Amino acid sequence: MTLNNCGFVIGPLQEDQIDRTYVIAQAAMPDLTLDSWRRVSGGSERHNFIVATDTRGYSRGLCHVRLEEHPIAGPLFDVAIFIVISPVHEDEIAAALFTSIERQAIDAKSKYLRFWTLQPAIWRLLDDQKFRHRWDHGVIYQL
């Protein structure tokens, strides 16, 4: 976990944050149910979620990242979900999350970051390897 200069903690999703972060995920993916969120975020995928938390413990940002061996790009750090919801400091939270993701991608020897275009169908596509291996969605950022 890291503390940025605005006082936000950036770190992996903790078990006691699962229900609180559902509100953020559901705001971007309206069809997402609490049961589905708990099943995925509480299981083996939990280590792929990053949360930005303010000084009072409120979750303000949520990301889902995964190192992918892409058939075209090679090592690709895939960012399927990148959401910031905060009444203040949205830019700082987004920058802190981006910096954390970029650092992880570099440490993993990834050549690219890909930020998926956020849409309600994202939840259903997280485990779709055929979709993840496509090169024609999201924004590519070369490291």
Determine the Cα–Cα distance for residues 119 and 116; give it in Å rounded to an integer.
9
The pLDDT tens digits of the residues spanning 72-102 come to 889 999 999 999 998 888 999 999 999 999 9
Domain that holds residue 129: 2-142
Nearest to 61 by CA among 85, 79, 42: 85
Task: Please tell me what DSSP assigns to residue 14.
Answer: P
16, 41, 77, 88 from 111: Cα distances, Å: 33, 27, 8, 33
Residue 30: CATH number of its domain? 3.40.630.30
Give the dihedral of Cα atoms 32, 33, 36, 38; nearest 10 deg. Answer: 110
Asked if residue 2 lies in contact with residue 98, where contact means CB atoms within 8 angstroms, the answer is: no
Determine the Cα–Cα distance for residues 40 and 71; give it in Å rounded to an integer.
26
Give the length of the chain. 143
The count of domains in the chain is: 1
Q: What is the pTM of this model?
A: 0.87
pLDDT band of 10, cuts 50, 70, 90: very high
The pLDDT tens digits of the residues spanning 39-84 come to 989 888 899 999 999 888 899 999 999 999 988 889 999 999 999 9
Strand-pairing partners, residue 68, are 76
Those residues whose C-beta lies under 8 Å from the C-beta of residue 140, and which sit 6 or more positions away, are 73, 112, 113, 114
